[in-house]
């Protein structure tokens, strides 16, 4: 394969991509957004879609290539539909993007690519309402339900656990070597956590691995579909499926909760774990009290590891919230 970055490679292989799409794909405008961290080339285009009436119309779409196996598998499996189903109620209610075409080979290269719907609405994060965040958690529950029907849970595919001992030791070092607020309190609480760390990690390792978790759930990864009625909201959809892996369902809620530590007002009164609990139960998915009780274990581990990431997560507001969380929760386990 040529030694090119994702965008250059995508541009080079575009003629082959058009051939693979059998004339349905229009010209592609490739770009790399500021928020994009992966190596995929991404472009906007249009797709000539044959409707159920036999007519052809152009719809906006997004092209991504190359993409990794996880993103390819889940985006295609959860979103691929027949052209005549494009506007059906079931398709419009899918929890992930509708897919127009996809493949794992292009021009003789093992290279996964995908063409999927383009969202004209901004991310849920821009709405800044409790109803928008609630809709995101409804979709998260729908995603959990859809994923488990596509593939049985494979616990051995769970992400490797962080080295919590190393992270906390690195955090103590960072606290000592950097002028952060409440450094002495931080060091004391990290030392306490180290004394009980084996028990904490053992409790967390025993959590049930019962869900395909999104692992990157936040309001910027949730979009709404455009619908004809301007007085109604389109269905919420989760994007960026590259990190899906087995886990405990509470992990998706706790990941988002941590992102807003110190800025809980931006959650508009929504409690991530409580809301995901409610939305899962509403569609018949389990949300057991034993699993919910494990949330504080994960919160302690996340809070205690916060100083290890001073370079990327050194915001004083966030660090203060992490320390407060640690001080509040650790004594409940060990006094």
For every residue of 156-188, DSSP letters joined together read: GGSPPPP-HHHHHHHHHHHHHHS--TTHHHHHH
Q: Does residue 41 form part of some domain?
A: yes
Q: Are 192 and 327 part of one and the same domain?
A: yes
Q: Prior bond to 66 cis, omega within 30?
A: yes
Report the number of distinct structural domains present in the chain.
2
Q: Are 67 and 137 part of one and the same domain?
A: no
Of the residues 102, 118, 134, which one is the last residue of a structural domain? 118
14: number of Cβ within 10 Å: 20
pLDDT mean over 14-43? 84
Question: Rounded to whole angstroms, how far apart are CA atoms 145 and 53?
Answer: 32
Q: Are 81 and 221 part of one and the same domain?
A: no
Q: Does residue 215 form part of some domain?
A: yes
Of the residues 92, 118, 144, which one is the last residue of a structural domain? 118
- Burial 301-312, CB ≥16 within 10 A → b, else e: bbbbbbbbbbee
Nearest to 104 by CA among 79, 60, 71, 61: 71
Q: Does residue 1 form part of some domain?
A: no
Q: Are 22 and 110 part of one and the same domain?
A: yes
Residue 64, Cβ density class (10 Å: 0-12 exposed, 13-18 middle, ≥19 buried): buried
Judge whether residue 245 has pLDDT over 70: yes
Q: Does residue 103 form part of some domain?
A: yes
Q: Are 198 and 156 part of one and the same domain?
A: yes
Judge whether residue 2 has pLDDT over 50: no
Q: Does residue 101 form part of some domain?
A: yes
Q: Are 83 and 162 part of one and the same domain?
A: no
pLDDT mean over 265-292? 98
Q: Under a CB-based contact definition with an 8 Å cutoff, are residues 171 and 304 in contact?
A: yes
Q: Are 216 and 111 part of one and the same domain?
A: no
Q: Are 221 and 276 part of one and the same domain?
A: yes
Q: Are 136 and 280 part of one and the same domain?
A: yes
| Helix 164-177 vs helix 183-205: crossing angle, to nearest 10 | 170
Question: Rounded to whole angstroms, how far apart are CA atoms 327 and 203?
Answer: 19
Q: What is the CATH number of the domain that holds 104?
A: 3.30.200.20
Of the residues 59, 87, 118, which one is the last residue of a structural domain? 118
Q: Does residue 29 form part of some domain?
A: yes
Judge whether residue 238 has pLDDT over 60: yes
Q: Output helix, strand, coil percentages for the chain, rounded to the nearest 5.
A: 50, 15, 35
Q: Is the dihedral of CA 63, 211, 257, 284 positive or negative?
A: positive
Q: Are 11 and 91 part of one and the same domain?
A: yes
Q: Under a CB-based contact definition with an 8 Å cutoff, are residues 85 and 91 in contact?
A: yes
Q: Does residue 86 form part of some domain?
A: yes
Judge whether residue 335 has pLDDT over 60: yes
Q: Give pLDDT tens digits for 126-147.
A: 999 999 999 999 999 999 999 9
Q: What is the CATH number of the domain that holds 319?
A: 3.90.1200
Single pTM value for the model: 0.93
Give start and end residues of each alpha helix (H) in 178-240. Answer: 183-205
The residue segments making up the domain with residue 312 are 125-334
Q: Does residue 193 form part of some domain?
A: yes
Q: Are 212 and 97 part of one and the same domain?
A: no
23 Cβ partners below 8 Å, 6+ apart?
48
Q: Give pLDDT tens digits for 165-208.
A: 999 999 999 999 998 999 999 999 999 999 999 999 999 999 99
Q: Are 31 and 98 part of one and the same domain?
A: yes
């Amino acid at each position: 394969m040529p030694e090119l970055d994702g965008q250059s490679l995508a541009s080079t292989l575009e003629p082959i991509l058009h051939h693979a799409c059998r004339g349905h794909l229009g010209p592609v405008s490739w770009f790399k957004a500021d928020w994009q961290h992966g190596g995929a080339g991404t472009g906007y285009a249009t797709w000539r879609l044959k409707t159920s009436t036999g007519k052809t119309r152009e719809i906006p779409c997004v092209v991504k290539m190359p993409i990794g196996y996880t993103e390819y598998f889940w985006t295609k499996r959860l979103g691929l539909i027949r052209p005549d189903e494009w506007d059906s109620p079931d398709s419009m209610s899918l929890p992930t993007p509708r897919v127009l075409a996809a493949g794992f080979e292009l021009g003789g290269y093992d290279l996964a690519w995908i063409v999927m719907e383009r969202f004209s609405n901004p991310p849920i994060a821009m709405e800044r309402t409790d109803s928008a965040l609630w809709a995101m958690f409804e979709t998260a529950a729908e995603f959990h339900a859809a994923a488990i029907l596509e593939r049985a849970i494979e616990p051995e595919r769970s992400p490797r656990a962080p080295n919590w001992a190393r992270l906390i030791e690195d955090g103590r070092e960072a606290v000592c070597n950097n002028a952060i607020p409440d450094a002495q309190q931080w060091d004391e609480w990290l030392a306490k956590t180290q004394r009980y760390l084996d028990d904490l990690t053992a409790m967390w390792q025993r959590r049930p691995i019962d869900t395909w978790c999104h692992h990157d759930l936040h309001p910027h990864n949730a979009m709404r579909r455009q619908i004809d009625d301007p007085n109604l909201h389109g269905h919420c959809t989760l994007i960026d499926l590259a990190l899906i892996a087995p886990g405990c369902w509470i992990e998706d809620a706790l990941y988002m909760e941590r992102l807003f530590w110190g800025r809980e007002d931006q959650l508009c009164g929504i409690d991530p774990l409580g809301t995901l609990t409610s939305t899962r139960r509403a569609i018949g998915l389990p949300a057991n009290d034993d699993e919910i009780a494990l949330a504080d274990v994960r919160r302690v581990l996340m809070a205690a590891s916060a100083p290890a990431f001073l370079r990327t997560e050194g915001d004083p507001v966030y660090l203060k919230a992490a320390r407060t969380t640690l001080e509040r929760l650790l004594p409940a386990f060990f006094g």
